[in-house]
Homo-oligomer: A and B are copies of this chain.
């Protein structure tokens, strides 16, 4: 498990209940010293939340190593520690709790150092940041999940699998989506120990595997094309591994043969050769409808034609919500509108188009790029998108795919904002 770099962790910011009543809220703090220390060295923490909360240092309660204390109890304690590797949970009494959304949270943490002259004590550690409260809205009819794609570049540098799962569970999500070739050490043959650990973590964080991303790399070798037989073998390898790990959907990303992303013609035969296996495993193959491909497009027609022709229940459509993007992604340094692909300005598909294909949609990757501290998404219009999905009869997973700026740790808070936003929008439909 790894902690976020900031003193105030995004993960863990939530209202708390006692006997059915919301009695306050809590947040997690990383030990800001270079060492862990005895809990009796804590001199308290001032907590402010916007203009809603301002409590002095002796009010918040402390949860350390699984036990809860008042400040006076912490200071009297013997043998209780705040380890470097473990966030402290600070609970602030606040009847009714905090409203849903992102809040500006400020803390001033007081720690008593023995090796600093007394006139400079206690040491004070201050931080202010916007963090998003775990939403308690139901958010139906949808289910909520997160793809580890959201944590691109964070995974393996500032985050391991358990850290990722803990963050997903903390927003009340129940589904985890992975990329086979990204998140399975030893792919395509993970060790039995890793598989055991995978199921152990799923149980610990009460998550279910949703979609498994795979690739059919049609350009696998520079000097030759891929045959349908080879494509089918690759797809079937991933179907089997996905099933082993408990996944119900597999999204093969198929190589393209044109500027507008027409898939390589082997896709049809590769898929058709794999439908019996998919049925046997009860895993649904679902290529993604991804910008710049809109819903009304020959590629989508071909996918639906395959379903109608074969009558399969194990092939369907995955919608990437990036197709609904209706405002541009800001240009990065050195980019101009002329040098980057036009579709990054957004292809603005009308979510009402979902109605025509609703019966074939089996999974949704909730692609997004930037949600501000007012929970306003800068690119994706969630109200019409979720309305369109609901009206199309979809009640499956909304699986977060954060695809914005890759500053370390940013993805964690962005996913929290998206879940709060999507649940609010869904609950108000």
Contact = CB atoms under 8 A, between A and B. Distances in A.
Given A2-B157, A215-B35, A117 B261 contact: yes
A38 B217 contact: yes
B219 A112 contact: yes
Interface residues of A, number: 63
A221 interface: yes
A76 B255 CA distance: 19
A156 interface: yes
A153 to B, nearest CB: 7
A379 B264 CA distance: 60
Contacts of A113: 219
B85 A185 contact: yes
Contacts of A218: 114
A220 B408 contact: no
Choose among A119, A223, A254, A255 the residue with the greatest number of B CB atoms under 10 Å from its CB: A255
Interface stretch (A165-173, A176-184, A360-368): A176-184
Contacts of A186: 83
A5 B85 CA distance: 21
A278 interface: no
Interface string A1-40: 0111100000000000000000000000010001111101
Which secondary structure characterizes the binding site on chain A? loop
Copies per complex of this chain: 2
B34 A153 contact: yes
A83 B187 contact: yes
A43 interface: yes
A117 B292 CA distance: 12
Interface in A133-182: 149, 152-153, 155-158, 160, 179, 181-182
A222 interface: yes
A35 B179 contact: yes
Interface in A248-264: 253-259, 261, 264
B182 A36 contact: yes
Nearest to A5: B157
A236 interface: no
A34 B85 contact: no
Contacts of A254: 114-115
A182 B37 CA distance: 8
A41 B152 contact: no
Interface of A: 2-5, 30, 34-38, 40-41, 43, 75-76, 81, 83-85, 112-119, 121, 149, 152-153, 155-158, 160, 179, 181-183, 185-187, 213, 215-223, 253-259, 261, 264, 408
Q: 3 closest pairs, A vs B, by CB?
A: A114-B255, A35-B182, A34-B152
